Amino acid sequence: MSFSKFMSTTLGRSIRVVAGLVLIVLGFVAGGGWITLSIVGLVPLAAGLMNVCLLAPLMGQPFKGASR
């Protein structure tokens, strides 16, 4: 699929890292129960930094970005 191939590119990885950072910052700025959002933001951040796509196996693509 083209989505999972795009997410394995440098731009796709950068988007995941930025999205994770945005979620983390928003969670801390909002405070209270929104801290959970910061924890959720760790998932795309870590996935982008480790070059993996959690949804790729569901689309029949390799989990690791370097395998594509």
Phi, psi angles (nearest 5°) of residue 64 = -90, 135
Rg, Å, the chain Cα set: 13
The pTM score is: 0.84
Give the tokens for residue 30: 């909002």
Q: Is 64 helix (H, G, I), strand (E, B) or coil?
A: strand
What is the full per-residue pLDDT of the chain (68 aa) written as tens digits?
588 788 888 899 999 999 999 999 999 999 999 999 999 999 999 999 999 888 888 888 888 876 65
Angstrom distances, CA of residue 30 to CA of 19, 27, 43, 52? 16, 5, 19, 29
